[in-house]
Structure 1
């Protein structure tokens, strides 16, 4: 069983190379009775992608481009997303398990009440996104992602790790982050530091947090005053 491990966090990856598993090419993600299994959905260009009450299991979604994306009450199990561009993404009331998002653009995405369990975001663009009431029920890794001006609001990310990501003006607005591993990032422009109690950092990042706090408090340095 393949895994992605960074420091002490390990994500179990989709099991798509198992003997006897054959992925059939499909032209839609709308399966019979709300279920799609053992599938490959590739290179679709859509104006609108609307899915609700659907279970996607054991599949690959590659090169999907949608101008507007609405996902509601979706269950994801053992699915790999690669090279996808999901514009105006709104994803609500769903669970994502053993999934990978690799080289995807999810700019300005809005995820609300979504549970993540063994999920890897790798080399993804998530700038200007809002993650509201996101819960890491199992390990979650953000690796080499851009999270500029992204907001985590009332999230529970104690089982998550963020590594080598762009966190410029990334904001944490309430929530639970005890155990969140933020080593390997520049933290000097974070926002919402009061929410980040009991996170994991390196000693060398302490000064970065001090810099972020000074900016957040809008302090004035005495030596800059003209007396």
Structure 2
């Protein structure tokens, strides 16, 4: 069983190379009875993609491009998304397990009440997104991603790791982050620091957090005051 491990956090990857598993090319992600299994969906350019009360399992989605995307009550099990551009993504009330998002553009995405369990985001663009009540039920890794001006609202990222990511003006607005591993990032422009109690950082990052706190509090330095 393949895994991706960074420091103490390990994600179990989709099982797509098991003996006897053959992925069939499909022309749609809308299957009979709402279920698509053992599939490869590639190179589609869609105006709209709406999936509701569906189940994707054991498959690959490659180079999918959409202008508007809405997933609701979508179950994803053992699926790899690579090179996808899901514009205006709204993803609600869903569960994602053993999934990989690699080199994907999810800019401005809105995720609400989505549960992640063993999910890897690698080299993805997630700028300007809003994750509301995003829950890491199992290990979750964000690696080499851009999360600029992304907001986590009432999220539970206790089982998550963020490594080598762009966190400029990334904000946490309430939630649970105890044990979240933030090592390997520049934290100097984080926002919502009061929510990040008991996260894991390197000692050298203490100065970065001090810089972020000073910016968040909009303090005035004495040497800049007029005489």
Aligned 1:74-93 pairs, distance under 5 A: 74-93=74-93
Question: Where does structure 1 differ by over 6 angstroms across 4 or more consecutive aligned residues?
Answer: none
Partner of 2:177: 177
**Secondary structure of residue in 2 paired with 1:41:** strand
Partner of 2:15: 15
Matched, 1:207 2:207: yes
- CA deviations on 1:48-75 (whole Å, 9 max, x unpaired) are 0000000000000000000000000000
- CA deviations on 1:92-126 (whole Å, 9 max, x unpaired) are 00000000000000000000000000000000000
Partner of 2:166: 166
CA distance in 1, matches of 2:104, 2:223: 46
1:226: how far off? 1.5
| TM-score relative to the length of structure 2 | 1.00
Partner of 2:113: 113
CA distance in 1, matches of 2:33, 2:218: 55
Partner of 1:52: 52
**Secondary structure of residue in 1 paired with 2:125:** coil
| TM-score relative to the length of structure 1 | 1.00
Partner of 1:97: 97
CA distance in 2, matches of 1:43, 1:206: 45
Partner of 2:223: 223
Unaligned runs of at least 5 residues, structure 1: none
1:85: how far off? 0.1
CA distance in 2, matches of 1:221, 1:125: 35
CA distance in 1, matches of 2:17, 2:63: 20
1:225: how far off? 0.9
CA distance in 2, matches of 1:187, 1:95: 29
Matched, 1:27 2:27: yes
CA distance in 2, matches of 1:49, 1:184: 36
Matched, 1:5 2:21: no
CA distance in 2, matches of 1:74, 1:154: 21
CA distance in 1, matches of 2:14, 2:70: 23
Partner of 2:140: 140
**Secondary structure of residue in 2 paired with 1:184:** coil
**Secondary structure of residue in 2 paired with 1:210:** helix
